[in-house]
Structure 1
Amino acid sequence: MLPKKLILLAPLMLCATNWQDAVNTAVSATSTQKQATTSSPTSTQSSATSGVKEALSLGAQQAVSLLGKEGGFLNNSAVKIPLPASIKPVATAAEKLGGKSYVDDFVKTMNSAASKSVPKTASIFSDTISSMSIEDANAIVKGSNTAATDYFKTKAGTKLLSAIMPIIKESMNESQVMSSYQSLKGFAGGSNPVAGASNNALMGQASSIAKGFGMGDAVPSGDESIEDYIGRKTLDGLFYMIEEKEKALRSNPLASGSSIIQQVFGK
């Protein structure tokens, strides 16, 4: 037989055991609830960041791939770099005098320089995407149809321009843009019996335009050199392509083939 004291204590021990089990169950349930509460926002934020980064990567990769190849700018009417406004009067006159080929060569030179500089931007786009914060990602998801592109412009615009300018200048030299310009200038100012006195006027215009290109005297303050013009237009083209890709991904996430993009932008 069990000692009398043990028999008396048994109910108390059983109650204590049941009480401890109840406490353990309550603590476990509370802990699980807290984990669910805290992990949900974190999980959502992580998904948003991953989705935005992947969308940005797709847009940047496509832009660099399409514009960085030969004819990438020249053969794409949406981003093709036109003549600067300052040279259009001379170019128009030259075309009327039979010098369209000189104008075409110059346009080709500018667009070729832009395409050659584009591959240099790939690493900058990649670094910008990698450094994106959760706050940036959430703002992009909740933002406009061009929020991701605007993020690139703000965070990487200056770096991108600094990276492409040396290549543009080098490409301009390799493509003999000076010779191309001098040919156009020479045609406009050369002896052409059909043109008559108008040639002299064209020559004067061409000389003043040379300054605007940084090919003659010092460029007046505030004027844009031809290299700066090409650099600006190159970035405009890149951002245009990225923007178009972003709009497409937002309007039809399923077409991306990416589950994380569908999850983030398909809501």
Structure 2
Amino acid sequence: MKRFMYTSMLAVALGATACTVTDLQRTVDGVLAGTANAPLTQTEVAAGLKQALEVGISNGAGQASQTDGYYGNSLIRIPFPEDVQRVENTLRQVGLGKEVDKFVLTLNRGAEDAAKSAVPIFVNAIKQMTIQDAWGILRGDKDAATSYLRRTTSQQLYQAFNPIMVKSLEKTNATRYYADLVNQYNKIPLVQKVNPDLDDYATQKAIDGLFTLVAQEELKIRENPIARTTELLRRVFSQQNQS
């Protein structure tokens, strides 16, 4: 009896040894494929989209809040306000180009500083998302989730983000530099006086920049399986092109 049990155990051991790493991987892949192909519920789709947006905003805000996160990125760098572009041109013509450049730098530094506080504001907005448009977003354009978030939460995000942006502009002296530039410009004979709302401009541009980075992160998750860092993301986005 003992001999029989020993022989059986040996056979099992040899059988396990004969199972190669490739065989094991195939088995695991099969299990994962079965899981990925399982029908998704609306709740899972909504949860997956929220998770994707949270990953996107966390990564995007992380990039933006680094030194030169805005200033060094041509896609989101905040320029001199467009509606007073003539101010910049005139100031450069009268030899104040360095002061203009200093302002633009501090303006972007303010956005980088404010971006550090963006994540909880955006995540709170993401949590309010319903499942009504979940499937349409999943199978929509490559930035559909980001566009949905922008469309449904922009006003809320602006109201929450604006005070943070104002403090950051003051912290980096961007507000003071801009006031100095405008005052110097207004002293130039025959020019049309200006006094635009820098806080509003900077806030909107900072939010636009964050959405640009979130859209990039969403595209990664949609197109690159490696970017799907959780099982839920893998399940949801593996079926995005299925009918």
TM bin (shorter chain): 0.7 to 0.9
State how far apart, in whole Å, the 2-side matches of 1:163 and 1:136 are: 25
2:212 is matched with 240
Helix, strand or coil for the counterpart of 1:81?
coil
Deviations 1:44-90 (A, max 9, x none): 33432332222111111011111123332112111001111233223
Residues 127, 170 of structure 1: alpha-carbon distance in 2 compared, 3 angstrom cutoff = closer
1:99 aligns with 2:111: no
Q: Counterpart of 2:121?
A: 124
Q: Which runs of 4+ in 1 moved over 4 A?
A: 185-190
Which residue of structure 2 aligns with residue 229 of structure 1? Answer: 201
Alpha carbons 2:110, 2:174 under 8 Å: kept: no
Aligned to 1:89: 86
Contact 1:253/1:261 (CA < 8 Å) preserved in 2?
no
| 1:54 matched to 2:51 | yes
Aligned residue in 2 for 1:33: none
Per-residue deviation at 1:189? Answer: 7.4
Note if contact 1:120-1:163 (Cα within 8 Å) is conserved in structure 2.
Answer: no
1:180 paired to 2:177 = yes
- Is the CA contact 2:125–2:153 (under 8 Å) kept in the aligned structure 1? yes
Instruction: Please say if residues 64 and 112 of structure 2, whose CA atoms lie closer than 8 Å, have aligned partners that are also in contact.
Output: yes
| Unmatched segments (≥5 aa) in structure 1 | 1-39, 191-198, 213-224
1:156 partner amino acid: T
The match for 2:189 among 200, 211, 216 is: 200
Counterpart secondary structure, 2:189: helix
Equivalent pairs, count: 202
Alignment partners' CA distance in 1, 2:55 and 2:172: 31
TM-superposed CA distance for 1:181, in Å, is: 2.9
For the 8 Å contact 1:68–1:117, the answer to whether it is kept is yes
* Residue identity opposite 1:200 in structure 2: P
Change (3 A) 1:138 1:101: same
Query: Any idea what SS the aligned residue of 2:72 has?
Result: coil
Please give the alpha-carbon distance, in whole angstroms, between the structure 2 residues aligned to 1:70 and 1:105. 15
Shift of 1:239: 0.8
Match of 1:76 in 2: 73
TM-score by length of 1: 0.66
Q: Which has the larger radius of gyration?
A: 1
User: CA shift at 1:232, angstroms?
Assistant: 1.0
Question: CA–CA distance in 2 between the matches of 1:104 and 1:180?
Answer: 10
State the TM-score, normalized to the length of structure 2. Answer: 0.72
Candidates 150, 157, 163, aligned match of 1:160: 157
Change in Cα spacing, 1:137 to 1:176, as seen in structure 2 (3 Å) is: same
Distance 1:132 1:98, change over 3 A: same
| Larger helix share, 1 or 2 | 1
Question: Hey, what does 1:193 align to over in structure 2?
Answer: none
The answer to whether structure 1 residue 141 and structure 2 residue 130 are counterparts is no
Closer, same or farther: CA 128–163 of 1 in aligned 2, 3 Å? closer
- Distance across 2 between alignment mates of 1:144 and 1:227: 32
Counterpart-to-counterpart distance in 2, 1:112 and 1:106: 10
